[in-house]
Amino acid sequence: MQLNPAALEKAKALIDEGKFRINTPWREVQPSPTAEDKYVAAHGWDAYAQWYLALNPQAAEGTKERYLFPVGDFNAVHRSGIVAAKSRAEKEANADVAAAAEEILDLFDRLNAC
């Protein structure tokens, strides 16, 4: 597993644009397989990839198995999705992905401090 820099930048941009949610239960808002399929059909794999903080370089491009740790619902980045991604990355000992998630969480913390 490796960091997906495009997803990190997308999450930061969405936060800057105000397209974020702070208090949503991730299990209720994470993309379903049907939502994923619809998004890929409408926007393509490159756009889909930007919503996943990690990549599996061993999986083929253009497959869902390649993209790991969703961070939003295809409309907004969710703090709860970032927390889930960070937790999973830490459990799998992936420091780069965990650090990227922490960087995004810091942005959320700064918003709450205002």
H/E stretch holding 72 reads none
pLDDT given at position 110:
83
* Structure-block tokens of residue 95: 């420091």
Dihedral of CA atoms 34, 41, 30, 114 in degrees, nearest 10, equals -160
Q: What does the alpha-carbon distance between residue 91 and residue 24 come to, in Å, rounded to a whole number?
A: 22
For residue 1, give Cα distances in angstroms to 28, 55, 92.
Answer: 25, 6, 9
- pTM of the prediction? 0.91
Residue-wise pLDDT for 41-83, tens only, equals 999 999 999 999 999 999 999 999 999 999 999 999 999 999 9
